[in-house]
Amino acid sequence: MNDQLEVLEQLIPRIAQARIGEQFGEAFQDACQHTQDLIPGIERMERWQLSIHLLKEYWDPDDEREALGALRILQSAGQKIESAQDLNQLSQVRGTATDAKSRVDVVMRDGLRVWQRRINADIGSLGSLGALLSEFGDTRELGHRMTLIAKRGAALASQFPPTSDLVESHRVLLEDAGTIRKDLAAIGAGESVEAFLNALANDEATLDLADDAVLKWIRNRRSDGLFRISLQRFASR
């Protein structure tokens, strides 16, 4: 009996050590799994480097603060995950990684907003203006080209972060938009005409915008009948 007790006394510490080792292994596997779940988001953030220079002037202050705050938290999370060694530290990786994943989502969401803001600034009112110019015989082809550029811009705005091919597509889009604005000026659509047409396309045109240049542009196209003047009554406040 004493011999059996001695064997048991030797086994108990070993069993405890084996259990600790098993727990460490489980915690390690769990930490690895949650770290692996972060990889797709991190890869998307790395791809963002291809287009980050395009967004410098288009950050909204609130989005910028939020994204920078999330990036700082991500940096701290990465350091915690990398330095995790003992059982307690490994058991905290799950929560750290889960929070880090949500921070990646915040950064990518804010980046998408800025990318869309950039595309909208590049395209401006080409879509609505193109639809309007399609109503005139001599500008129908120009209007069609404008609407196509606007559609290309909308397609680009939905893809973030852009791949290298999409960054190149954006560069070509800028060139095409610049060319078409020159073509618009070449048909006599000066600053006041363009302002009037833009306002008209957005249902914001007022009579004071129809200066001599605008009236001449309209009459040259024998399009007086396409325009109607209406009185918009504003409710008293």
Q: Are residues 218 and 128 in the same domain?
A: yes
Q: Is residue 211 part of a domain?
A: yes
Q: Are residues 135 and 74 in the same domain?
A: no
Tens of pLDDT, residues 2-37 = 454 454 445 445 544 444 455 556 666 766 777 787
Q: Above 50 in pLDDT, residue 214?
A: yes
What range does the domain containing 48 cover? 2-110
Span 88-108, average pLDDT = 81
**Predicted confidence band of residue 195 (pLDDT cuts 50, 70, 90):** confident
| Overall domain count for the chain | 2
Q: Is residue 35 part of a domain?
A: yes
Among the candidates 75, 110, 145, a domain finishes at: 110
Q: Above 70 in pLDDT, residue 144?
A: yes
Q: Are residues 102 and 8 in the same domain?
A: yes
Q: Are residues 51 and 128 in the same domain?
A: no
Q: Is residue 175 part of a domain?
A: yes
Q: Is residue 117 part of a domain?
A: no
Among the candidates 62, 79, 110, a domain finishes at: 110
Tens of pLDDT, residues 150-186 = 999 999 999 999 999 999 999 999 999 999 888 877 7
Q: Is residue 119 part of a domain?
A: no
Q: Are residues 97 and 130 in the same domain?
A: no
Q: Are residues 44 and 140 in the same domain?
A: no
Q: Are residues 160 and 185 in the same domain?
A: yes
Mean per-residue pLDDT of the chain: 78
Q: Is residue 230 part of a domain?
A: no
Q: Is residue 106 part of a domain?
A: yes
Q: Considering only CA atoms, which of 124, 123, 118 is closest in space to residue 55?
A: 118
Q: Are residues 15 and 105 in the same domain?
A: yes
Q: Is residue 194 part of a domain?
A: yes
